[in-house]
Amino acid sequence: MQSEDTVHVVECKQTFNADWQQGKGLGACMLEMYDQSLWTDVTFHSKDQPEAATIKAHKIVLAARSPVFRAMFFGPCADRRDDVELEHVTRETFDLFLRYIYSESLDLSAETAFDILRIAHFYQVSSLVQYCADFLMNVITTENAM
């Protein structure tokens, strides 16, 4: 007969791979934490998606990469909320933005670059602003400028 503790351990092994960090660099591990919502402490809600389609993240990671997030979560006027409403950005754009925050890499496209640039400016992530600007300099032509 199995004890309750044994059953719990078996269930945990089935849902969580204990060696997921092995062979991965920092960016890959950080992105895995984001993708799997491991140990998150803030939830973002987008007006363009249903309540179930929230984005979970880590305040400390966001604050380390953005002075706006640092002030929002840890500054003297921080409101200490764990739920944040996204007013002017779609869930897809915010997800792409956070992927960059966590991994410092991003697959931009002509369709997403301007929205990512706008949110990078808003949250003062200068490396992403530069990344978007460089991308746009390479894809804008006289044919697609309008």
Report CA-CA distances (Å) from 144 to 12, 112, 132, 133, 139. 51, 14, 16, 16, 8
Higher pLDDT: 5 or 60? It is 60
For residue 28, what are its two tokens? 């890959």
For residue 110, what are its two tokens? 């002509």
Q: Check which CATH number belongs to the domain holding 73 and give it.
A: 3.30.710.10
Query: What number is the average pLDDT over the span 25-44?
Result: 94
pLDDT for residue 24: 87
| Chain-centre distance for alpha carbon 146 | 30
How far is Cα 92 from Cα 105, in angstroms, rounded to an integer? 16
Is the entire prediction scored with pTM above 0.75? yes
- Mean of all residue pLDDT scores within the chain: 87
For residue 62, what are its two tokens? 């966001």
pLDDT for residue 13: 44
Query: What number is the average pLDDT over the span 89-101?
Result: 96
Backbone phi, psi, residue 42, to 5°: -145, 145
The DSSP call for residue 17 is -
pLDDT for residue 51: 73
pLDDT tens, position by position, 41-88: 999 998 887 777 899 999 999 999 999 999 999 999 888 889 999 988
- Which pLDDT band holds residue 10 (cuts at 50, 70, 90)? very low
Query: What number is the average pLDDT over the span 1-27?
Result: 63
The reply to whether 5 falls in a domain is: no
How far is Cα 50 from Cα 37, in angstroms, rounded to an integer? 18
The reply to whether 3 falls in a domain is: no
The reply to whether 20 falls in a domain is: no
For residue 131, what are its two tokens? 């990344």
The reply to whether 15 falls in a domain is: no
Number of domains in the chain: 1
pLDDT for residue 91: 93
Report CA-CA distances (Å) from 28 to 22, 44, 88. 10, 22, 28
The reply to whether 126 falls in a domain is: yes
Q: Identify the domain containing residue 124 by its residue range.
A: 27-139
Residue holding tokens 């953005």? Answer: 66
The reply to whether 2 falls in a domain is: no
Query: What number is the average pLDDT over the span 10-18?
Result: 54
Query: What number is the average pLDDT over the span 128-134?
Result: 97
The reply to whether 59 falls in a domain is: yes
The reply to whether 49 falls in a domain is: yes
